[in-house]
Amino acid sequence: MNGGRRWQGGHSQRRWLVGDGQRRWLVGGSQRRWLGAACAGLLAILVACERPHSIQHGFRGLNTAQLYTSDKLASVAELNKIPVAEDPADPDSPMATEVFKNVQVLNDLSATEFSRLMQALSTWVAPEEGCDFCHNADDLASDEKYTKVVARRMLTMTRQINTDWKAHVAGTGVTCWTCHRGEAVPSGDWFAAPDLRGTAGMLGNRAGQNTPNPNAGGSSLPTDPLSTFLITDNNIRIQGTKALAGDNIHSIKQAEWTYSLMMYMSNSLGVNCTFCHASRALEAWDQSTPQRATAWHGIRMVRELNSAYLIPMQPLFPVNRLSAEGDGPKVGCATCHKGSYKPLNGVSPLTDYPVLAGVMPPPVAPGASAPASKTTSYSGSKDTSTAALGTFHTIPAAAGAK
């Protein structure tokens, strides 16, 4: 070529020619095949990627939409099924306390209703072990197994949730199946994260973050937002209302803790931020969805459950039920929701077991009028030694409080 240069390899190699200030690329046979395969692979990836479904649950223009994929919904479909209910109990049987010994919690039930619930508990919590999981088969009245003592406290807790926390569970309610789903140890329980201060070597203090943790969505955000917000009543608020800091004393560090908790809640419910918040005004209650108020009560419910039940029960658990640091299990959003925005897809498990909705009224004497309601208000005992409880039942006036 006049005034130029030329390079040419074998037949299957890439070749280029330069001449007269111009460059041409010539692609050989193997390169054409490679390029065709790459395009085909890229097309296959694009076709194989499932397009998410957008479901709007608020007014148009507010970005209140959730994205779901069919495979994600299918992955939790089996988990949200409810077992077939036990056969109805004989309404004319004597009280459980007249038939069984050491009945401390369900002493308001008839003997057949008591036995029916015990059979359901086996299905809900220990389908393999059955009654032996909690009881000494030779002495059912014995409290020698810690699992029986724990189950007694859990039944008390379940009734309290269904009675005192309708602002969160509404009429749907909960049973043992809501959390356990056939497992003795429910998924979604959590332990305090190890203290990582001073373990970063040359990097210095990690300040409780920069260690991937599922509770923080695997991000570099603080690794243990649950101990911070789901035990004590620390305020979950970060956003100021002015361009400059002004009197807003909240720091970027506090913002990171809050966003870590929000990521945990989003993953637990399988939703994004706009399920509760308006994206343009995260702090504004008057622009938030009703789900935000439900979540507000849920946070306070979880705090009470951990403080009044789970933490006081820690001495009952054997070593294998504790974390490596000796911490006991606690509950959170994921314990019930398990990736669904409503546990069990919103189906009420109380329909088949209304005895868990609260303490049952005494039997009606022959000829007397039946009570107006099936249940009375909760009267079970609860340990309040670790925290002041029952003070979180109204939404605060302060803007931005979660």
Q: What are the tens digits of pLDDT across the range 228-241?
A: 999 988 888 776 66
Residue 178, token pair as written in the block? 């809501």
The pLDDT assigned to 370 comes to 45
**pTM score of the predicted model:** 0.77
Considering the domain architecture, whether residues 229 and 132 belong to the same structural domain is answered as yes
Residue 365 lies in a domain: no
Contact 382, 301 (CB under 8 A): no
Which pLDDT band holds residue 223 (cuts at 50, 70, 90)? confident
Is residue 162 pLDDT above 90, yes or no? yes
Contact 237, 283 (CB under 8 A): yes
Considering the domain architecture, whether residues 31 and 60 belong to the same structural domain is answered as no
Residue 388 lies in a domain: no
Residue 348 lies in a domain: yes
The pLDDT assigned to 303 comes to 97
* Whole-number percent of the chain with pLDDT over 90: 47
The pLDDT assigned to 209 comes to 76
Q: How far apart are CA 123 and CA 133, in angstroms?
A: 11
Is residue 373 pLDDT above 90, yes or no? no
In this structure, what CATH number is given to the domain that contains residue 289?
1.10.468.10
Considering the domain architecture, whether residues 297 and 154 belong to the same structural domain is answered as yes
Please write the tens of the pLDDT for every residue from 47-79: 666 677 777 776 776 667 777 777 777 778 888
Kind of pairing between the strands at 22-26 and 15-19: antiparallel
Which pLDDT band holds residue 309 (cuts at 50, 70, 90)? very high
Count the neighbouring beta carbons within 10 Å of the beta carbon of residue 87: 9
Considering the domain architecture, whether residues 24 and 95 belong to the same structural domain is answered as no
Considering the domain architecture, whether residues 217 and 247 belong to the same structural domain is answered as yes
Residue 381 lies in a domain: no
Considering the domain architecture, whether residues 216 and 313 belong to the same structural domain is answered as yes
Residues 6+ positions from 394 with CB-CB distance below 8 Å:
none
Is residue 286 pLDDT above 50, yes or no? yes
Considering the domain architecture, whether residues 117 and 20 belong to the same structural domain is answered as no
| Higher pLDDT pick, 6 / 192 | 192
Instruction: Give the pLDDT mean for 121-128.
Output: 96
The pLDDT assigned to 71 comes to 76
Residue 182 lies in a domain: yes
SS3 content of the chain, % helix, strand, coil (to 5): 40, 5, 55
Is residue 394 pLDDT above 60, yes or no? no
Q: How far apart are CA 155 and CA 157, in angstroms?
A: 5
Contact 268, 276 (CB under 8 A): no
Is residue 88 pLDDT above 60, yes or no? yes
Total domain count for the chain?
2
For every residue of 109-152, DSSP letters joined together read SBHHHHHHHHHHHHHHH-TTTGGGGTSBTTBTT---SHHHHHHH
Cα 35 → chain centroid: 46
The pLDDT assigned to 359 comes to 79
Is residue 199 pLDDT above 60, yes or no? no
Residue 20: domain span: 5-48
Considering the domain architecture, whether residues 13 and 150 belong to the same structural domain is answered as no
Instruction: Give the pLDDT mean for 103-132.
Output: 95
Residues 6+ positions from 133 with CB-CB distance below 8 Å:
122, 125, 126, 145, 147, 184
Considering the domain architecture, whether residues 144 and 172 belong to the same structural domain is answered as yes
The pLDDT assigned to 97 comes to 95
Considering the domain architecture, whether residues 23 and 170 belong to the same structural domain is answered as no
Residue 224 lies in a domain: yes
Residue 189, token pair as written in the block? 């329980």
| Higher pLDDT pick, 221 / 115 | 115
Residues 6+ positions from 215 with CB-CB distance below 8 Å:
190, 193, 223, 224, 225, 226, 260, 264, 332
What is the pLDDT of the chain when averaged over all its residues? Answer: 80
Which pLDDT band holds residue 196 (cuts at 50, 70, 90)? low
For the ranges 5-9, 51-55, 66-70, 132-136, the one whose mean pLDDT is highest: 132-136
Considering the domain architecture, whether residues 108 and 18 belong to the same structural domain is answered as no
Considering the domain architecture, whether residues 127 and 17 belong to the same structural domain is answered as no
Residue 376 lies in a domain: no
Residue 257 lies in a domain: yes
